[in-house]
Amino acid sequence: MHKEGNEIHIDEVEASGGSKEGVVRWVLAGGMLLAIILLSVTWIVPALMQDDVEEEATVSGEIRSMEDDGTGTDSIITDVGNDTEATATDQATQQDGVDVIEN
């Protein structure tokens, strides 16, 4: 800072109150990189340590377990017709070529 007549001249460093070295940029970049690494480790390590029970809870594990069963019904229950109770298919009648079920 220097004075010329009635004017006070201040250089850039004194006016800003600090230096302009770009340290904040490196701190932010380092923090971002560290956050990415830590979040990746918390996701990848448990995924690698997954056993068979946890694997079946995933969609791909569910598909594999359904393929291994050998049953292709997809949990569809079909009525064999050997029951003693009246079911909806037993009460179905045809009207104009369409099955009609009375409630």
Which of 99, 74, 76 has its CA nearest to residue 89? 99
Per the CB < 8 A criterion, the answer to whether 101 and 91 are in contact is yes
pLDDT in tens, 4-19: 888 888 887 777 776 6
- pLDDT greater than 80 at residue 2: no
Output the average pLDDT for the chain.
Answer: 75
| DSSP H helices in 1-103 | 12-16, 23-48, 52-55, 59-69
Question: What is the amino acid identity at position 17?
Answer: G
Per the CB < 8 A criterion, the answer to whether 92 and 101 are in contact is yes
What pTM, to 2 d.p., does this model score? Answer: 0.39
- pLDDT greater than 80 at residue 73: no
Question: What is the amino acid identity at position 91?
Answer: Q
